[in-house]
Amino acid sequence: MALTPEQVAHVAALARLELSPDEAALYRAQLSAVLDAASLLDEVDVSGVQPTRGDAPVPPLRPDVERPSLSPEQVLGNAPAKVGTTFSVPKILE
């Protein structure tokens, strides 16, 4: 399947990736090739087939009992930008 530049731009936006024009062209070609290869699946008859689900025994559900939370140092230790104990981001427009 050949992707259009618009499709590539749309997917990049959905994925929050910024592509240079060279990257966009490269990915367009590469992804199209991969999707072409994937079109092999078109020939498979999957009528009546359900998606896979494992059948191993599932553990019991978690009890509603409090577990310790992280300390502020642990929560914010890796934060690139913080104000007090909150994470700071550029203003969100409503």
Using CB under 8 A, list all residues that contact other proteins. 3, 7-8, 10-19, 23, 27, 30-31, 33-35, 37-38, 40-41, 44, 46, 49-54, 56-70, 72, 74-81, 83-94
Query: How near is the Cβ of 82 to other proteins at its closest, in Å?
Result: 9
Query: How near is the Cβ of 21 to other proteins at its closest, in Å?
Result: 13
Query: How near is the Cβ of 29 to other proteins at its closest, in Å?
Result: 10
Residue 84: both structure tokens together? 């007090």
41 DSSP assignment: G
Going 6 to 8 to 12 to 17, the CA torsion angle's sign is negative
Question: Between 18 and 21, whose beta carbon lies closer to other proteins?
Answer: 18
Query: How near is the Cβ of 15 to other proteins at its closest, in Å?
Result: 4
Distances (CA, A) of 50 to 12, 39, 44, 47, 54: 31, 20, 14, 9, 12
Question: Between 21 and 44, whose beta carbon lies closer to other proteins?
Answer: 44
CB 87 within 8 A of CB 81: yes
